[in-house]
C-alpha cells in the first residue's frame, strides 16, 4: 500500500533519514518510536505524500509520489486518514462539521452521512460536544475529534502522529481500543508515539510490530519491550 | 495550470453556489465591504468615462460630417459675366491641390435651395442670384488663403465660404478626448483588477489555516479556489451594479443638451447607448473572477 525504496530525506541541512526501505502490508498494525526529533513526523509525511523524498522512491497505492499531480495528492488524502501531531480545524465551524469536512470537500453530502456522523461522534465520545467550536475543546477532545475526522471517509490506511500526546492514561487506552477496533475491521494502522506503556498495552490486544527510528535508519525493534 | 481551468458548466454551477462549500471559508466582513465599495466606485467612474467617450465621439462625428460637406464658392457678378467667371473659377479650382472636385450647381439645384425662402414659383434665372460652386476637399485639404489670392486675381466676383474649416482642430481634439475616455475605462478596470487581487490575496492570507486544513482533508484546488472566487466575483458584480446605477442616475440628472454643439451639456448617453454601461458590471465580474483565480492559484501553489 505504501512502499519506500531506499528513501532519504533532508530539510536542507544534513540527511535526517537515509536508506530507508519499507513496505506497509494491508491489515498490519505498526508503532513508530524514536527519540524526539528523530524524524517520526517526517517519516509519516513521506508516507502520506506531504513531503517528497530527496532521494529514493515512495509509492502510494502503486503510484510514484513524485509523479502525482495536485489532484492525485488530494485523492490520495481521501484514502489515507491522518491524525496530525498538531491538529488543525476550521475554527469557525462546529465540531460536527469539522469531523464531516472530508465528506464535504469530496462532494459527498454530509446530510446522507448524518447517521454515520452521529455514530462516529458517539464512538469517540464527543456526541455532547458536537456543536462546540474547536477552540472550545480540550486537548484530548481535539485528538479524538481528529481521529474521527481521519476515519470518516473510511480510509484504507490510518496514520496517527502522537494521537495520545495530550491525554491521560484512561483516555489513551480508549483511543487505542478505537484504533485496534479499526484494525480488526481491516484497516492498516501506523501510530507514532513515545509512549512505551501504550505499546505494551496494545500488544495484549493486537499483533503489533514496532519500528524504531535511530541513526537516520528505520529498524524493526525486538519483541522485548 | 491545468487543474484550475473551468468549464462553462462549472462556472455556472460555481456562481449558483454550493452552500456547503461556502461555509468552509469564514465570513470576512471588512474585506467584503471594501471590495464592494471599490468595485462600486470603479463602476461609477467607468460610467462617466464611458459617457465622456461617447459624447466626444458624437461631437467628433457631427463636426466631421459637417467638415466633409463641401465648402462653397459664391460668384456674384453681373449677369453677362457670370458664365465666364464660373468657367474661370472652375479652372482655378481644378488646378488647386487639396480640392477633390468642384462643380457648378445647376439652376434647378439653386432653385431647390431657395424654395424654402421664396416659394416654388420664383423665376430664379431672372434674378441676380450668385452662382454657387460646390467644392469637395480631399483628405489633405486646400490652402484657403492661397486659393483666395488666386481667385481674387482671376475671378474678381468669387467669394470663398469655408466657415466650417475652423472646426478641424476641434474635431481632432474631440477624437483624442474619446480615445482618452476609452483609455480611462481600461485604466479603471486595470485598477479594479489590482484592487481585487490585493483584497483576494489579503483574504487568502488571512485564511491560510483554512486553506491548509482543506488541503489536508483532501480538497482539490478547484474546490478551494471556487470558495474564494465565487465570493469575490459576486461582490464585484454587486458593487459594480450599484455604482453603475448611481452613475447612470447622475448622468440622467445632468442638464440636457440645449445647444447641440456644446460639449459639456452633451455629456450623456443617447438612445440605445443607455444600455452600454450594463457591460461594466459584467466586465467587473470577469475581472474579479480572473484576478481571484490567479491569486488563489498562486497561494495554492505554495502548499502541497
Ligand atoms: N519544516 C522543517 N524545516 C526544517 N527542519 C525541520 C522541519 N520539520 C522538522 N524539522 C526538523 O527535523 C527533525 C525531525 O523532526 P520530526 O518532526 O520529524 O521529529 P519527530 O520524531 O516527529 O519528533 P517529536 O517526537 O518531537 O514529534 C527535527 O530536528 C526538526 O527540528
Ligand atoms: Mg513528531
pLDDT for position B3 = 42
Q: Which domain holds residue A12?
A: 2-220
Is the CB of A16 within 6 Å of ligand 1?
yes
CB-CB under 8 Å, A69 with B213: no
- What digits encode the pLDDT tens for the residues A185-199? 999 999 999 888 999
Could you tell me the distance, in angstroms and rounded to a whole number, from the CA of residue B141 to the centre of ligand 1?
82
* pTM, 2 dp: 0.73
Q: What is the pLDDT of chain A when averaged over all its residues? A: 89
Domain membership of residue B198 (yes or no) is yes
Question: At which residue does the C-alpha cell 458536537 appear?
Answer: A130
Question: At which residue does the C-alpha cell 451639456 appear?
Answer: B265
Domain membership of residue A225 (yes or no) is no
Residues A105 and B24 sit within 8 Å (Cβ to Cβ): yes
Domain membership of residue B165 (yes or no) is no
- What digits encode the pLDDT tens for the residues A85-116? 888 999 999 999 999 999 989 887 656 667 78
CB-CB under 8 Å, A90 with B26: yes
Domain membership of residue A55 (yes or no) is yes
Could you tell me the distance, in angstroms and rounded to a whole number, from the CA of residue B198 to the centre of ligand 2?
36
Q: Is B180 on the interface with A (CB under 8 A)?
A: no
Question: At which residue does the C-alpha cell 484504533 appear?
Answer: A179
Tell me, yes or no, whether B101 and B182 share the same domain: no
Q: CA of A106: which chain B residue's CA is closest?
A: B219
Domain membership of residue B114 (yes or no) is yes
Mean pLDDT of the region A140-153 = 91
Domain membership of residue A39 (yes or no) is yes
What domain count does chain B have? 2
Q: Is B16 on the interface with A (CB under 8 A)?
A: no
CB-CB under 8 Å, B3 with A110: no
- What digits encode the pLDDT tens for the residues B19-57? 666 778 887 778 778 888 989 998 999 898 888 888 888
Q: Which of B157, B160, B162, B149 is nearest to B83 (CA)?
A: B157
How far apart, in whole angstroms, are the C-alpha atoms of residue A185 and residue A188? Answer: 9
Residues B121 and B158 sit within 8 Å (Cβ to Cβ): no
Identify the CATH number of the domain in which residue A73 sits.
3.40.50.300
Q: Which domain holds residue B190?
A: 8-58+178-302
How far apart, in whole angstroms, are the C-alpha atoms of residue A82 and residue A150? Answer: 5
**Confidence band, pLDDT 50/70/90 cuts, at residue B262:** low
Domain membership of residue B223 (yes or no) is yes
Nearest ligand to the CA of A42 is: 1
Is the CB of A69 within 6 Å of ligand 1?
no
Tell me, yes or no, whether B98 and B149 share the same domain: yes
Mean pLDDT of the region B260-284 = 74
Which residues of A are less than 8 Å from B218 in CB distance? 74-75, 77-78, 102, 105-106, 153
Tell me, yes or no, whether B189 and B287 share the same domain: yes
Could you tell me the distance, in angstroms and rounded to a whole number, from the CA of residue A173 to the centre of ligand 1?
26
Residues A21 and A182 sit within 8 Å (Cβ to Cβ): no
User: A184 pLDDT exceeds 70?
Assistant: yes
- What digits encode the pLDDT tens for the residues B164-192? 666 677 778 878 888 888 898 899 888 88
- Radius of gyration of the CA atoms of chain A, in A: 17
CB-CB under 8 Å, B219 with A153: no
CB-proximal residues (5 Å) to ion ligand 2: A 40-41, 85
Cβ neighbours, 10 Å, residue B268? 18
Tell me, yes or no, whether B197 and B269 share the same domain: yes
Domain membership of residue A44 (yes or no) is yes
Domain membership of residue B63 (yes or no) is no
Tell me, yes or no, whether B143 and B91 share the same domain: yes
What domain count does chain A have? 1
Tell me, yes or no, whether B194 and B292 share the same domain: yes
User: B1 pLDDT exceeds 50?
Assistant: no
Helix, strand, coil % (nearest 5) of chain B? Answer: 70, 5, 20
How far apart, in whole angstroms, are the C-alpha atoms of residue B91 and residue B71? Answer: 17
For a substitution probing ligand 1, which of A7, A11, A54, A193 has the most ligand atoms within 8 Å of its CB?
A11
Cβ neighbours, 10 Å, residue A64? 12
Domain membership of residue B19 (yes or no) is yes
Amino acid at each position: 500500500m505504501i512502499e519506500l525504496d531506499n528513501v532519504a530525506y533532508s530539510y536542507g541541512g544534513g540527511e535526517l533519514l537515509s536508506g530507508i526501505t519499507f513496505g506497509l502490508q494491508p491489515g498490519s498494525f505498526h508503532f513508530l518510536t524514536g527519540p524526539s526529533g528523530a524524524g517520526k513526523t517526517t517519516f509519516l509525511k513521506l508516507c502520506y505524500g506531504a513531503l517528497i523524498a530527496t532521494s529514493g522512491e515512495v509509492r502510494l497505492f502503486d503510484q510514484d509520489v513524485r509523479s502525482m499531480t495536485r489532484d492525485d495528492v488530494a485523492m490520495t488524502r481521501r484514502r489515507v486518514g491522518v491524525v496530525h501531531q498538531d491538529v488543525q480545524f476550521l475554527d469557525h465551524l462546529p465540531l460536527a462539521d469539522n469531523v464531516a469536512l472530508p465528506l464535504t470537500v469530496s462532494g459527498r453530502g454530509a446530510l446522507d452521512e448524518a447517521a454515520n456522523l452521529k455514530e462516529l461522534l458517539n464512538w469517540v465520545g464527543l456526541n455532547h460536544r458536537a456543536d462546540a467550536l474547536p477552540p472550545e475543546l480540550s486537548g484530548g477532545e481535539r485528538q479524538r475529534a481528529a481521529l474521527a475526522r481521519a476515519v470518516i471517509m473510511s480510509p484504507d490506511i490510518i496514520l496517527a502522529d502522537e494521537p495520545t500526546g495530550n491525554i491521560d492514561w484512561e483516555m489513551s487506552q480508549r483511543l487505542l481500543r478505537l484504533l485496534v477496533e479499526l484494525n480488526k475491521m481491516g484497516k492498516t494502522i501506523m501510530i507514532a508515539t513515545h509512549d512505551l506503556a501504550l505499546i505494551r498495552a496494545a500488544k495484549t490486544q493486537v499483533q503489533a510490530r514496532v519500528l524504531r527510528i535511530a541513526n537516520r535508519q528505520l529498524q524493526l525493534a525486538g519483541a522485548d519491550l | 495550470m491545468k487543474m484550475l481551468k473551468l468549464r462553462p458548466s462549472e462556472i455556472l454551477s460555481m456562481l449558483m453556489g454550493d452552500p456547503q462549500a461556502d461555509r468552509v471559508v469564514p465570513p470576512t466582513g471588512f474585506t467584503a465591504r471594501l471590495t464592494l465599495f471599490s468595485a462600486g466606485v470603479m463602476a461609477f467612474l467607468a460610467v462617466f468615462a464611458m459617457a465622456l467617450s461617447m459624447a466626444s465621439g458624437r461631437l467628433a462625428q457631427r463636426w466631421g460630417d459637417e467638415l466633409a460637406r463641401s465648402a462653397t464658392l459664391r460668384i456674384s457678378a453681373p449677369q453677362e459675366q457670370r458664365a465666364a467667371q464660373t468657367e474661370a473659377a472652375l479652372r482655378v479650382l481644378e488646378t488647386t491641390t487639396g480640392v477633390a472636385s468642384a462643380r457648378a450647381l445647376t439652376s434647378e439645384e439653386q432653385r431647390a435651395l431657395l424654395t424654402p425662402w421664396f416659394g416654388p414659383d420664383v423665376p430664379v434665372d431672372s434674378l441676380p442670384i450668385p452662382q454657387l460652386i460646390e467644392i469637395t476637399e480631399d483628405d489633405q485639404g486646400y490652402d484657403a488663403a492661397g486659393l483666395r489670392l488666386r481667385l481674387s486675381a482671376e475671378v474678381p466676383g468669387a467669394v470663398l465660404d469655408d466657415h466650417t474649416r475652423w472646426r478641424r482642430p476641434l474635431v481632432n481634439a474631440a477624437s483624442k478626448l474619446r480615445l482618452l475616455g476609452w483609455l480611462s475605462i481600461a485604466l479603471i478596470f486595470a485598477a479594479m483588477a489590482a484592487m481585487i487581487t490585493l483584497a483576494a490575496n489579503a483574504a487568502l492570507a488571512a485564511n491560510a489555516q483554512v486553506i491548509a486544513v482543506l488541503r489536508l482533508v483532501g480538497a482539490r484546488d478547484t474546490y478551494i479556489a471556487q470558495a474564494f472566487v465565487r465570493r469575490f466575483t459576486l461582490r464585484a458584480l454587486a458593487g459594480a451594479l450599484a455604482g453603475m446605477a448611481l452613475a447612470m442616475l447622475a448622468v440622467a440628472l445632468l442638464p440636457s443638451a440645449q445647444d447641440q454643439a456644446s460639449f459639456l451639456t452633451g455629456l450623456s448617453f443617447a438612445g440605445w447607448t443607455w444600455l452600454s454601461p450594463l457591460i461594466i458590471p459584467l466586465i467587473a465580474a470577469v475581472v474579479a473572477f480572473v484576478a481571484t483565480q490567479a491569486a488563489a492559484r498562486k497561494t495554492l501553489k505554495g502548499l502541497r
